[in-house]
Chains A and B, each alone.
Chain A
Amino acid sequence: MEFKLEAHRIVSISLGKIYNSRVQRGGIKLHKNLLVSLVLRSARQVYLSDPCPGLYLTGHPGAPALPQQPGESVAGPPAGWGEPPPPAACAAWPEPEPQMELPAVPEVPREGDAEPAATVTGAGDTLQGGEAEAAEAAWRRVEGLRETAVGGAGVPAGGSDVFPQGPGAARRPCGCPPGDEDKMSASPRVDGCRTPRPAGPEPPVPPPVCPRKRGAEGVGGGPADCPAPGSTPLKKPRRNSEEQPGGAAAGAAAEEEEEMETGNVANLISIFGSSFSGLLRKSPGGGREEAEGEKSGPEAAEPGQICCDKPVLRDINSWSTAIVAF
């Protein structure tokens, strides 16, 4: 369990770094982003292994381990770490069109995979902004899992005003009409147009096969002088505008994000426009949103603690939510 906690945290931090790298001076640093993606992959593996009680996952028998969002990985133009296109192509004009993918193939086999493997999306072009998409794609897998779970779990208590749609709905930050959802509210945040992700029921995925390969390292409390990662100013995610596949839970989940412990997470939610499954009901019964909301506050105050040896049970909820949010 503590591994999962740490994994959660690491994932959110990693996503934050990938996001920040897009706006760094000097362009995206291939080396650093490669390393971050490796960490992200490891953490994700850990996270996806062995479902924990009270966490999402097994709404269904043979719980899907990796969300299969058909066409999800079509999420962008061919991705890859690729180099800039020839001058004629002009594709490099500032388009944070995410074009990168995680370089590594997830260990979990996909069967009946309607989507092209999320990691394979064709040749790369610009070196810009791609990792964000990679991370997003990675998370969509996780989400999809949750979405299906939630579908089974029922509607959580916290109503949210917003979310009408079916699974796989993607928030289009730039307001591009999605292929399927007309109810999706567009976020005014213009991040660049993402290719709409056709929604559809995700085929169930076989449970993850990968055993947890890494143990969380025991980390002592972080040094006092370690700042929170990528401390970009927090933009509160626009909860109300996120749709939520699977129903009402999203609203509640969104609330939790608000106090999310890592500023990046909130940013990422907004930026990546992941669908809010909100399924990650911290507990099977759901309805702990308020509790979580409060809890994430204190957690937010002590990021260093998260990395400590002793997992703090209360963290699980905000973690799950954070992850789910993506």
Chain B
Amino acid sequence: MAGAGGGGCPAGGNDLQWCFSQVKGAVDEDVAEADVISTVEFSHSGDLLATGDKGGRVVIFQREQENKSRPHSRGEYNVYSTFQSHEPEFDYLKSLEIEEKINKIRWLPRQSAARFLLSTNDKTIKLWKISERDKRAEGCNLQDEDGRLRDPSSVTALRVPILKPMDLMVEANPRRIFANAHTYHINSISVNSDHETYLSADDLRINLWHLEITDRSFNIVDIKPANMEELTEVITAAEFHPHQCNVLVYSSSKGTIRLCDMRSSALCDRHSKFFEEPEDPSSRSFFSEIISSVSDVKFSHSGRYMMTRDYLSVKVWDLNMESRPVETHQVHEYLRSKLCSLYENDCIFDKFECCWNGCDSAIMTGSYNNFFRMFDRTTWRDVTLEASRENSKPRASLKPRRVCAGGKRKKDEVSVDSLDFSKKILHTAWHPAENIIAVAATNNLYIFQDKAN
């Protein structure tokens, strides 16, 4: 049975068969709020996979080296490091609790043996250094083996310490803390292609930081109106262009995307390009504004396209054409008639993310009932798959799912009314080079690979 998803560069465009690989997380029906995964991100090489959760923890998985003696564990991801990134805080002045939930993780490109990532909650961004230690020094002069300092006067002879191997220890240390720059809730961070700066975006402002400097940031976009009563839209996501270090885009709650060029002026309030698709007047409803709000924006790896996710669809835009997207893919159009109920139970505010595969031939996004969708841009085929424990036998193929929007429900179809809206897949990630995907289903992280892999 064929599945869509053009895949990473090797496979490009062929029909793929996705198979279960691993699932991480507790099996319990009772999910602790703190364990809910809130962000997933592969590193640039794909050998590390980071997740953040609502409890402020970051868990990093590392892909095992292929081992001929254990062929079945080829390329499995195992826990590499776990650390508490953010703690809950209380802003006494405003009487506000600041949630520790990790909103985003972004890896820095690798420049040394150590790995660096940025993690952010609503208010504070932290740069973490993850380093390995597999040797320790023995025979120090000024401290004994327990680490207690020796009295220098008792040292009568000097020796050179010897490095001895030890069990691998992975340490995570916060190297920079970028705080107090955001009044509103941070929704995005994005590392620039210059590898020196990054942006952080909240509802009304985007700030530019230098990775080395924590006490200063530059405000580059500010859409706060002088009179807050005139507020009509907020920033929902922002990203730097993958290759042009002066270009960034940000999306708004009105469904528009603005591309800014930092060379044009210090404050990029005036956009260079403005992407908006005219609304279809026939589909107007009370909730039109909500469902047009863009929840995620991602540049393609090539930098030629960008993709936006709104409540019901994913759109691919050509940066050279502002008037409308070049592709629109319906994620779960059957929900359009349910918007009122989805408004009631708050699901309409869910912020789904989207991602590209390594060669930009396929895109993926999540839906409800633990379903996620993949769209192959070359063959124009799409598939709905499910992340569930039932399909969790090793290397078991995933069967495409179908939702019956109305009328007679065929066998194997799921009817719209039986969808479980508490099982939502908001965060997915695609390995930068291979056909490996990570799908976060509440507190579980599923890893799927294609059969060929």
Contacts and interface: CB of A to CB of B under 8 A. Distances in A.
Given A92-B94, A223-B416, A227-B345, A30 B286 contact: no
A101 B51 CA distance: 38
Contacts of B93: 84, 87, 90, 92
Interface stretch (B68-76, B95-103, B388-396): B95-103
Contacts of B187: 31
A45 to B, nearest CB: 10
A81 B233 CA distance: 12
Interface stretch (A64-72, A116-124, A197-205, A239-247): A116-124
A31 to B, nearest CB: 5
15 contacts: A10-B343, A17-B346, A26-B101, A27-B97, A30-B234, A32-B349, A39-B290, A92-B94, A103-B228, A128-B96, A218-B337, A219-B337, A219-B341, A222-B340, A226-B345
Contacts of A81: 228-229, 231
Contact of B231 (A25, A92, A103): A103
B94 A126 contact: yes
B94 A222 contact: no
B220 interface: no
The 3 closest A-B pairs by CB, nearest first: A222-B341, A80-B228, A217-B285
A35 B338 contact: no
B232 interface: yes
Contacts of A101: 229
Interface in B91-113: 93-99, 101
Contacts of B289: 35, 38-39, 42
B67 interface: no
Interface stretch (B153-161, B376-384, B417-425): B417-425
A29 B202 CA distance: 11
Interface in B35-73: none
A279 interface: no
B203 interface: yes
Contacts of A127: 94, 96, 183-184
A127 B182 CA distance: 13
B229 A26 contact: no
Given A35-B293, A215-B284, A219-B338, A94 B345 contact: no
B230 interface: yes
A220 interface: yes
Contacts, number: 164
Given A26-B98, A30-B234, A225 B228 contact: no
A30 B235 CA distance: 10
B422 to A, nearest CB: 8
A229 interface: yes
Nearest to B236: A31
A132 to B, nearest CB: 15
B360 interface: no
A303 interface: yes
Contacts of A46: 286
Given A13-B343, A214-B284, A120 B229 contact: yes
A289 interface: no
A304 interface: yes
A79 B230 CA distance: 12
B296 to A, nearest CB: 13
Range for the number of chain B residues in contact with chain A: 35 or more
Interface string B205-218: 00000000000000
Contact of B95 (A31, A42, A92, A119): A92
B123 to A, nearest CB: 10
Interface in A151-168: none
Nearest to A121: B229
B434 interface: no
A32 B293 CA distance: 10
A103 B253 contact: no
A223 B340 contact: no
Contact of B98 (A27, A94, A220): A27
A208 B253 CA distance: 28
Contacts of A42: 286, 289
Contacts of B419: 223, 225
B227 interface: yes
B286 A26 contact: no
B290 A83 contact: no
A29 B94 CA distance: 14
A31 B348 CA distance: 13
Contact of B185 (A30, A80, A82, A92): A30
B231 A34 contact: yes
Contacts of A6: 286, 340
B122 interface: yes
Given A13-B343, A35-B289, A103-B230, A217 B337 contact: yes
B92 to A, nearest CB: 9
Contact of B344 (A90, A217, A229): A229
A110 B95 CA distance: 37
A83 B183 contact: yes
A223 B228 contact: no
Contacts of B343: 10, 13, 39, 229
Contacts of A26: 96-99, 101, 122, 185
A9 B234 CA distance: 26
A104 B225 CA distance: 13
A25 B94 contact: no
Nearest to B288: A214
Given A39-B289, A217-B287, A27 B96 contact: yes
A103 B232 contact: yes
Interface in A43-99: 43, 46, 79-84, 87, 90, 92-94
Contacts of A82: 228
A221 B236 CA distance: 31
B342 interface: yes
A39 to B, nearest CB: 5
Interface centre among A6, A26, A39, A119 (most CB of B within 10 A): A26
Given A6-B340, A26-B122, A93-B95, A215 B293 contact: no
